[in-house]
Amino acid sequence: MTVEGTGGESNVELLAVRGLSKSFGPIQALTEVDLDVPAGKVTALCGDNGAGKSVLIKCIAGALEPSEGQIFWEGRPVRIRNAHDAAELGIETVYQDLALADNLDIVQNMFLGRERLRHRLLDEDSMERAAAETLATLRVTTVRSIRQPVGSLSGGQRQSVAVARAVMWNSRLVIMDEPTAALGVTQTAMVLDLIRTLRGHGLGVIVVSHNLNDVFAVADRIAVLHLGKMVVQRDAAGLDRQTVVEYMTTGGSGPLPTPADAGRPA
Amino acid sequence: MTRADSDRPGVVDSGAPAENVAAAEAAITAPEAAETAVPPAIVAQSLSEYVHAQVRRVRSGDSGLLPVVLALIIIVVVFEVISPNHVFISAGNLVNLFLQSAVFMVLAMAETFVLLLGDIDLSAGYVGALGGAIAVQLVQPTTTNWPWWAAIAAAVVVCAVIGLAQGTLITRLRLPSFIVTLAGLLIFNGVLLIVLALGPFSGYPSLQGLSVNLHAIADMMQGHVSPLVGWISMIVIVGGLGTSIAFRDNRRRRSGLVAPPLGVTIAKIGLIAAGGFTVVFICNLNRATVGTLEGVPYAIYIVLGVLAVWTVLLEHTRYGRYIYAIGGNAEAARRAGIRVARVRTMAFVLCSFTAGLAGILYAAYQGGMSNNVNGGQLVLYAVAAAVIGGTSLFGGRGRVANGVLGGLVIGAIYNGMFLQGLAVQWEFIVTGLVLIGAVTVDALSRRGAASSGGARP
């Protein structure tokens, strides 16, 4: 029911995006983007404002339909037309605003829209148990009670609840949009730990972030978008901060290969 | 009104493995978040801790039913002290007070559905009055002579259809509920006058007469059960409610789920039993000056029935959960796959439907329907009752039980002022002041929650 490990040993990537383009009328938001997301690894998606990060993750999450290109899920081509399709595959997205209802408690938020019923009434006991198990699996241990309203939680705890909700549904890939943008130092550390826990459970994780400290703290792979094009995509170990900043701001980097080459997976 | 104390359905243990859960539960009790905003029932380990947590919570502003209960006690004490011959707490007056409050209570419960969404329904007073007028007209023996149950059913169905129309305009065309229902207030005031003018009693159809159907509707407010039936029904209701609360809390405690301490459970059941006993005891005293008039009024059962059904709907079904979710964060609800427009439309249907019931009670209390009914004032009183009871005007917070208690406050002010011989202007002024107090508590509690670590908008 909760977090399932897949090991990520196979050669096939969990998610592979090939030649994905998206245009809004005359505006070309994404141009032939390739992206590989392995299971059991954290892939950071970086880029300046307007680089197309949000459009890309929305295409993967089913919130937008790509104009062109193909998405492969464990090697087979799939069409993700809406959030429901994405959920069927095991893709869950934690948007920046978290989409939590402050007046509902943690259990109610985690099951929102997918409540368990018993005799046509809400089965609170079973939902509470499952929510507690998931939070324990994710080692979210700082909340006082899972029956407290989400409005009374700290920013990091809210993020944890949103992530816990995402991983509850046998999800295989969790996309997190700017998970640390609104958080202080302690809270950020807590969320980064949570991301490592997800990786430890064998899930694929895409983290969209501006914050290179966080990116280098947690990412196994880094992909950089610039003006709608994927300019580099490789293991974090092969990149340093300065290079990534150059890619993000100019779309290229002096001594390194040209963007066109860098965009191609090895 | 005690029904609202039950938070979760009385379902049987599903038998899932609990070892893991106990560990998880132990892990997530480390204190970190703001203590004040957490309901005491979920953190207290004993009755005294529960009381302390409740006090802390009231100080922080997020107080549940406590302010309205306190307000009610103060109002009762003040009026008892100043009322001529201390007649306020007499059996006759207390029953009267309840009957005077019943329309506000039911109308406030109706309004709760839309208030929880952050909307408002200004038309509910006249839509309800229209429902009352339809029911009264349909049972007139000289014209349609419908059986009473068919007349009531027709009235509430008409009201529900009105709610559907208004709700559809509001949710599909995205018009503001304030304006649509303001238009509804005018329109259905007009329709009400047309309906009242039909038939031989132009403008003033009455429930006086020999027909069984006339009596049946009037008895909803004016009739009562025999003292013995009152006691039996009380034992059945209190016993059923108490047993289900005890079983549920016990089961949750044993399986390591969040549950109130044993002392709280016992205190809760004790309060319910004491409340039930007191109500039936008072109602069974002879309240006539000449002859005999005793027994629990039907109106109490009707109000309790509406309260029970709507509490179950709002707190134990998916639909109710979705209303709270939309009131808290409509965008989050939409992304969770909830069909927001449909849920909101249905809330307006339920509001108008329940308003229809309130209108029928109004007609029963007045012994007929007349064009004197002030639906605009009724609906404002209903909103005031809901807010005084603790339902937030900003959506997402409140229960139907709040409306019942708030309705009782308004009824008590009305009744007490009347006993004082104070004219209606003072009733308006005092009710207005109480409403200001209630909204202040609401606003302060939101601010309190925000400053104690929450991120309420």
User: What is the Cα gyration radius of chain A?
Assistant: 18
Answer with the residue of higher pLDDT: B37 or B215.
B215
Q: Round to whole Å and give the CA distance between B74 and B83.
A: 14
Amino acid identity at B73: I
Helices and strands: H and E segment counts in chain A: 9, 12
Containing H/E element for B423? none
Q: Does A80 contact chain B (CB < 8 Å)? A: no
Listed in sequence order, the residues at least 6 apart from B417 whose beta carbon sits closer than 8 Å to its beta carbon are B426, B427, B430
Tokens representing A189?
Answer: 């550390």
SS3 content of chain A, % helix, strand, coil (to 5): 35, 25, 40
B82: how many CB neighbours lie within 10 A of its CB?
A: 12
Q: Is residue A25 a part of any domain in this protein?
A: yes
A1 touches chain B (CB under 8 A): no
pLDDT above 50 (res B456): no
Query: In DSSP terms, which residues pair with A92 in a beta bridge?
Result: A174
User: Please, which residues bridge with residue A175 across strands?
Assistant: A93, A206
Residue A213 resides in a domain:
yes
Q: Does A76 touch chain B (CB under 8 A)?
A: no
| Helix H or strand E segment including A209 | none
- B-chain residues near A115 (CB < 8 A): 318, 321
**Residue B34's pLDDT is what?**
39
pLDDT, tens digit, for every residue of A11-66? Answer: 678 999 999 999 998 999 999 999 999 999 999 999 988 889 989 999 999 888 89
* Contact in structure between B72 and B78 (CB atoms under 8 Å): no
| Cross-chain Cβ contact B33/A157 below 8 Å | yes
Strand ranges across the sheet with A204-208: A91-94, A173-177, A204-208, A42-47, A221-226, A229-235
**What CATH code is carried by the domain that includes residue A86?**
3.40.50.300
- Which residues from B are below 8 Å from A159, CB to CB? none
Q: In 3-state terms, chain B is what percent helix, strand and coil (to 5)?
A: 70, 0, 30
Average pLDDT over residues B70-88: 87
**In what helix (H) or strand (E) does residue B393 lie, and over which residues does it extend?**
none
Give which of B151, B168, B117 is closest to B220, Cα–Cα. B151
Nearest to B20 among A136, A143, A154 (CB): A136
pLDDT in tens, B152-176: 999 999 999 999 999 999 999 999 9
ipTM summary value: 0.81
Q: Which helix (H) or strand (E) holds B40?
A: none
CA distance B298 to chain A (A): 28
CB-based contacts of A166: which residues, under 8 Å, 6+ apart? A92, A93, A94, A174
Residue B12's pLDDT is: 36
The sign of the torsion formed by the CA atoms of B401, B406, B412, B414 equals: negative
- CA end-to-end span of chain B: 31
User: Do A99 and A110 contact (CB within 8 A), yes or no?
Assistant: no
Q: Assess whether pLDDT exceeds 50 at residue B2.
A: no
Q: How far does B434 lie from chain A, in Å, by closest CA? A: 25
User: In this structure, is residue A91 part of a structural domain?
Assistant: yes
Q: State residue B45's pLDDT score.
A: 64
**A196 lies in a domain?**
yes
**Rounded CA separation A60/A111 (Å):** 23
pTM assigned to the model: 0.84
- What pLDDT, in 10s, does the model give residues A159-188? 889 988 988 888 899 999 988 887 888 888
Which residues contact residue A122 at a Cβ distance below 8 angstroms, ignoring those fewer than 6 apart?
A115, A116, B8, B9, B316, B317, B318, B321
Residue A144: inside a domain: no
Answer yes or no: do A104 and B325 touch at CB < 8 A: yes
Its domain, for residue A68, covers 15-101+171-263
User: What's the confidence (pLDDT) of residue B146?
Assistant: 94
How many residue contacts between A and B have a Cβ separation below 8 Å?
Answer: 170
How many folded domains does chain A comprise?
Answer: 1
Residue B153: which residues within 8 A CB-CB, separation 6 or more? none
Percent of chain A with pLDDT over 70: 91
In a domain? residue A43: yes
Question: Which band of pLDDT confidence, cut at 50, 70 and 90, is reported for residue B446?
Answer: low
Residues of A in contact with B335 (CB under 8 A): 83, 95, 99
Average pLDDT, rounded, for chain B: 85
The type of residue at B255 is S
Which residues touch A249 (CB under 8 Å, ≥6 apart)? A48
User: Is the pLDDT assigned to residue B13 strictly greater than 70?
Assistant: no
How far apart are alpha carbons B18 and A6 in whole angstroms?
26
Residue B38: pLDDT band (50, 70, 90) is low
β-pairing verdict for A117-118 and A68-73: unpaired
Q: What is the arithmetic mean of pLDDT over B18-24?
A: 40
Q: Give A84 to chain B, closest Cα distance, Å.
A: 8
Partner-chain contact A144 B255, CB within 8 Å? no
Residues of chain B with pLDDT > 90, as a percent, come to 58
**Per-residue CA distances from B115 to B312, B326, B451 (Å):** 18, 11, 24
B-facing residues of A in 103-162 (CB < 8 A) are: 103-104, 108, 112-115, 117-126, 128-129, 132-133, 135-136, 140-149, 151-155, 157-158
For residues A152 and A144, give the distance between their C-alpha atoms in angstroms, rounded to a whole number: 10
Residue B453 pLDDT more than 70?
Answer: no
Across B273-293, average pLDDT: 91
Pairing mode, strands A27-37 and A15-24: antiparallel
What is the edge-to-edge ordering of all strands in the sheet holding A15-24?
A27-37, A15-24, A68-73, A76-78
- Contact between chains at B456 and A118 (C-beta distance less than 8 A): no
Residue A124 lies in a domain: no
Question: For chain B, what's the residue count?
Answer: 457
For residue B186, the one-letter residue type is L
Q: Does A245 touch chain B (CB under 8 A)?
A: no
pLDDT tens digit sequence for A223-241: 999 999 999 998 998 888 8
Closest Cα in chain A, distance from residue B60 (Å): 12
Q: What's chain A's length in residues?
A: 266
Q: Report the candidate in B55, B52, B40, B45 with the shortest Cα–Cα distance to residue B7.
A: B40
Q: What is the 3-state secondary structure (H, E, C) of B283-300?
A: HHCCCCCCCCCCCCEHHH
Chain A CB contacts of B455 under 8 Å are 102, 151, 155, 158
Contacts B260 to A, Cβ<8 Å: none
Handedness of CA A193, A195, A196, A200 (dihedral sign): positive
Query: pLDDT-derived band of residue B457, with 50, 70 and 90 as boundaries?
Result: very low
Predicted local distance difference test score (pLDDT) of residue B448: 60
pLDDT of residue A11: 61
Instruction: State what percent of residues in chain B have pLDDT above 70.
Output: 84
DSSP state of A167: H
Rounded to whole angstroms, how far apart are CA atoms A232 and A114?
39
Q: Is residue A125 part of a domain?
A: no
Cα B106 from Cα A240, distance rounded (Å): 67
Residue B77 structure tokens: 């004490």
Flag if B16 and A126 touch (Cβ within 8 Å): yes
Which site among B49, B321, B445 would you substitute to test the A interface, given the most A Cβ atoms closer than 10 Å to its Cβ? B321
Nearest CA in chain B to A128: B257
- What type of residue is A7? G
Q: Which two tokens stand for residue B138?
A: 């349909």
Give yes or no for residue A266 having a pLDDT over 90: no
Q: Which residues of B touch A143 (CB under 8 A)?
A: 28, 32-33
Closest residue in chain A to residue B16, using alpha carbons only: A126
CB < 8 Å from B in window 175-214 of A: none
In angstroms, rounded to a whole number, what is the distance separating the alpha carbons of residues A251 and B428?
A: 70
